[in-house]
Amino acid sequence: MAADMGSGQYQILSIYARSAGIELGKDIEVINANFAASRAQLAAERVDAAMVIEPIVTAMMNEDPRLHIIFNADEAWKSMTGSAGWELVFAAREEKIKTVPQALKKFVAALKDTAEYMKANPDETDKIVTETVKLPAGIMKAVISSGRAAIAPSTIGPAESKSLLDMMKRAVDAGFHPKMPDEGILYVD
């Protein structure tokens, strides 16, 4: 398998694999490669699997219909913990949050507006992404339509805080981080 072993996605995969009794690197050979190189390794048939992210997944499946998704991190995390996991969080300095207290809420509101626009307007979103980041036409629309890319911006409430702290603890237990951060690291709304 080719995977970016320094990525958060690899940490999630590794933690889930361990929960299933599989040790990556021992039970499954892993070649360290970023997402683009992992894609190339699989396309060249040098590996049997590649860990990639959307929209690369959709592009690869369009190019080679023999490919199938064998692991979905969101589904795996929910089956392991009973709650949603988080792949991306934003950090901000506490003093900045205090000086402009509405900035965080406005930022999250803008992200929510963007996510809602993308879901409601997949054709227009696809056109924007095709023009701006040169993703092949149709890929972003397919990503949105598939539902595989969970775009759900939110502030952190008690349930999200519990889920994030659980993820951090699992990362510490797996050896990805030396110790748990103080719970005050999370800005709970």
What does pLDDT average to in each consecutive run of 10 residues of the chain (189 residues)? 94 93 96 97 98 94 95 88 79 84 88 94 97 95 89 82 88 92 80
Amino acid 6: pLDDT: 93
Three-state DSSP class for residue 63: helix
Q: Are 35 and 64 in contact (CB under 8 A)?
A: no
- State residue 92's pLDDT score: 81
Q: What is the pLDDT of residues 81-100, one digit of tens each?
A: 888 777 777 778 888 888 98
* pLDDT at residue 150 in the model: 76
pLDDT at position 113, please? 96
Predicted structure pTM score: 0.80
**122: cis peptide before it, omega within 30°?**
no
Tokens encoding 172:
């510490």
Query: Residue ranges of the domains in the chain?
Result: 2-81, 94-185
Nearest of 67, 68, 2, 73 to residue 34 by alpha carbon: 2
Cα–Cα distance between 82 and 102 in angstroms, integer? 32
Q: Which residue has the tokens 């933690």?
A: 15
Output the CA torsion 27→33→37→42 (10° steps): 0
Q: How far apart are CA 45 and CA 30, in angstroms?
A: 14
Q: Tell me the two tokens of residue 56.
A: 């690369």
User: Which one, of 23, 24, 7, 11, lies nearest residue 171 by Cα?
Assistant: 11
Token pair, residue 39, equals 């894609």
User: How confident is the prediction for the chain on average, in pLDDT?
Assistant: 91
% residues pLDDT > 70 (the chain): 100
- Tell which residue, 114, 94, 113, has the closest CA to residue 104: 94
Contact (Cβ atoms closer than 8 angstroms) between residue 180 and residue 164: no
